[in-house]
Amino acid sequence: MVVSSSIPYVKMNGIGNEIVVLDLRSRPETVTAEAARAIGAREPFDQLMVLYAPRRPDTLAFMRIFNIDGSESFACGNGTRCVGTRLFDAGAPSRFFLESRAGLLRVEKADAGLVTVDMGEPRFAWNDIPLAEPFADTRAIELQIGPIDAPILHSPSVANIGNPHAIFWVDDVEAYDLAAIGPMLENHPIFPERANISLAHVTAPDALTLKVWERGAGLTRACGSAACAAAVSAARTRRTGRKVRVTLPGGDLVIDWTAENRILMTGATEFEHDGLLPGAIFAPAA
Ligand SMILES: N[C@H](CCC[C@H](N)C(=O)O)C(=O)O
């Protein structure tokens, strides 16, 4: 087959969450799981944001999101802000819509160069997380690791923000070996689609500290959807109000769970460098 020439990409980060943005809106290539892994081998990322030509006239792009292991996520808050900055810089209006596999995302310019994304409505029903078995109350589900009578972590809140999240409430996010515990919980049979695993420490009625083990990506410096999941879960369990500052290893996000049940996430993005991918990376395996 004829392979196309080099394909440009942009390496960015959303408060330390490593993001590659690949704009294929006017190109014929598509990204498979295998291609995503091959791209990650050349230019490491936590998430790869792929833009395709819009499927709906009210959006600027249809977006698909891959983790570094090639798995697909239907949400990535930090990556969506990076896409926002990229499109704003290319002349997009200061407010526009993207379509993801989870639905419509509104992206908006905020003050001081920050970007706000309307991440949509959270889902809390056990089969929407999804969980493998029914739980009437997902504010705290029965799940623990460690000795039965002295669990290390237990009773997480769970939420779906387009992707599945479990949040364990702790007094010190650094007191746990999340790199060791994360994979066990990510792949626990209670989560049929795996899950992103967070440790959350409520430091004030309007502030949380968060550390995240991401499904398909491992420990990252920040995870926007996890910040949303932690914020709505904190508000739901009366640990905080509905607007909080979430501090992650890479920086801060402000999350506002509005009276209309939308989750607004605001934070910074940073350009790192441009690059080129060989067209052959997109060719199907022989
Ligand atoms: N870093 C992303 C989330 C990636 C999600 C992914 N790890 C999954 O659900 O598979 C964020 O800022 O929201």
Within-domain flag for 1: no
What integer pLDDT is reported at residue 285 of this predicted model? 52
* 76 a catalytic residue: yes
87 and 209 belong to one structural domain: no
| Contact yes or no for 230/167 (Cβ under 8 A) | yes
| Contact yes or no for 22/30 (Cβ under 8 A) | no
What integer pLDDT is reported at residue 284 of this predicted model? 58
The CA 225 to ligand 1 mean position distance, Å, reads: 6
Within-domain flag for 61: yes
Question: Would the annotation count 196 as a binding residue?
Answer: yes
pLDDT digit of tens for each residue in the chain (286 aa)?
444 589 999 999 999 999 999 999 999 999 999 999 999 999 999 999 999 999 999 999 999 999 999 999 999 999 999 999 999 999 999 999 999 999 999 999 999 999 999 999 999 999 999 999 999 999 999 999 999 999 999 999 999 999 999 999 999 999 999 999 999 999 999 999 999 999 999 999 999 999 999 999 999 999 999 999 999 999 999 999 999 999 999 999 999 999 999 999 999 999 999 999 999 998 655 5
Q: Estimate the crossing angle of helix 224-236 against helix 77-89, to 10 degrees.
A: 130
Q: What is the ipTM of this complex?
A: 0.96
Question: Would the annotation count 214 as a binding residue?
Answer: yes
* 228 a catalytic residue: no
Residue count of the chain, please give it. 286
CATH code for the domain in which residue 102 is found: 3.10.310.10
| Contact yes or no for 193/162 (Cβ under 8 A) | no
What integer pLDDT is reported at residue 5 of this predicted model? 81
Within-domain flag for 51: yes
| Contact yes or no for 244/234 (Cβ under 8 A) | yes
Within-domain flag for 81: yes
| Termini Cα distance of the chain | 11
Residue 78 is encoded by which pair of tokens? 């930090």
Closest CA to 169 of 146, 193, 125, 203: 203
What integer pLDDT is reported at residue 283 of this predicted model? 67
How many CA atoms lie less than 13 Å away from 56 in the CB half-sphere? 13
204 and 105 belong to one structural domain: no
Question: Would the annotation count 78 as a binding residue?
Answer: yes
146 and 176 belong to one structural domain: yes
The count of domains in the chain is 2
78 and 183 belong to one structural domain: no
| Contact yes or no for 259/105 (Cβ under 8 A) | no
Ligand 1 atom nearest 217 alpha carbon:
7
**Residue range of the domain that includes 14:** 7-120+269-282
Selected catalytic residue, list 60, 223, 229, 268: 223
250 and 273 belong to one structural domain: no
